Amino acid sequence: MVVNKGYEKAAHLYDIFDNKDNIDFFYRYGKEAGLILDIGAGTGRIAIPLAKRGVKVICIEPSPAMRNEFSQKFKLQPDLSDKITLIAGDVQSFKLTETFPAAFLSGSFDHIPSNERIASLQNINRHLKLEGKLIFDVYIGGMKDSPLSLIDTIKRGDYEYQRFIGTKTLPDKTIEVLLVYKTYKQGKLIEKIEQPSAAVTTSREKVHELLQETGFSIKNEYGDYYFSPFKERDSFLIIEAFKKK
Ligand SMILES: C[S@@+](CC[C@H](N)C(=O)[O-])C[C@H]1O[C@@H](n2cnc3c(N)ncnc32)[C@H](O)[C@@H]1O
């Protein structure tokens, strides 16, 4: 099982740096389906608010550290125990007997190595009901190499959290990503974490081919989480696909 995709060391900081405004986006699908398979569920950032709004969510997450963060949050909300199930597993190989009306894969597709993408989408397809939906997001096009630089500063009481990123593209289009996290308490550095990981960029055409090959049809393509239609120059693509006959 894949356990280190860049989240092991800094899982406790994941929610602090979260700035994605996509809960309402995912809730629209959650409300419609009632039951969601959330793959690469992370810290439960999407699953927990959806469960609070009445959606049942079955979560798959390979990273023990992310699952631990998820469980800690979840423990504080015992009323959600019949709404959320958290399972250790990765997208390529998880195996459940149930099939689902909809699945999410948010922030995770870029981490799947190119040679595992077909098997991963096929495995999701197997877990969907006929015409069941897959909602996933992916960065497309190239990414400029950049030296390590500060991208976020979050202040909370006595604490200041800083996040730095550096990227380098290899000839096979794999992007080596280095994230560095620094935590200061009353101005004194108390934690520094270096977390390397890899991401793989792709093109919209390649994503279309993969979906075609793995039993999906595309219903909608968005360029953001506010349902704006995808435009040719967007570098972020959100796909709503469904399992075809
Ligand atoms: C950017 S986080 C997104 C977490 C959550 N979906 C969210 O939106 O907050 C990416 C997550 O994908 C998980 N992941 C990485 N590779 C994976 C794989 N092969 N199968 C399933 N999940 C994976 C990571 O462990 C991490 O929790």
Domains 11-141+202-243 and 146-200 share a fold: no
DSSP assignment of 114-157: GGGHHHHHHHHHHTEEEEEEEEEEEEBS----EEEEEEEEEEET
Ligand 1 atom nearest 108 alpha carbon:
12
Q: Backbone phi, then psi, for 225, in 5-degree steps?
A: -85, 15
Q: Which comes out higher in pLDDT, residue 170 or 224?
A: 224
91 CA → ligand 1 middle, Å: 9
Amino acid 5: pLDDT: 65
Tokens representing 63? Answer: 């990273």
Q: Whose CA is nearest to atom 1 of ligand 1?
A: 107
Q: Whose CA is nearest to atom 25 of ligand 1?
A: 63
| CATH class of this structure's domain 146-200 | mainly beta
* Domain at 11-141+202-243: CATH architecture: 3-Layer(aba) Sandwich (3.40)
Amino acid 61: pLDDT: 97
pLDDT tens per residue across span 12-63 = 999 999 999 999 999 999 999 999 999 999 999 999 999 999 999 999 999 9
Q: Give CA separation, 83 vs 47, 49, 51, 86, in Å.
A: 9, 11, 6, 10
Q: Backbone phi, then psi, for 216, in 5-degree steps?
A: -120, 150
Ligand 1 atom nearest 116 alpha carbon:
19
Q: Whose CA is nearest to atom 9 of ligand 1?
A: 45
pLDDT tens per residue across span 187-233 = 999 999 999 888 888 899 999 999 999 999 999 999 999 999 999 99
Amino acid 143: pLDDT: 73
Our mutation pick for probing the ligand 1 site, out of 2, 4, 5, 105, counting the most ligand atoms within 8 A of Cβ, is 5
184 CA → ligand 1 middle, Å: 27
Ligand 1 atom nearest 40 alpha carbon:
22
pLDDT tens per residue across span 68-107 = 999 999 888 889 999 999 999 999 999 999 999 999 999 9
Q: Residue 2 pLDDT more than 70?
A: no
Q: Where are the domains of the chain?
A: 11-141+202-243, 146-200
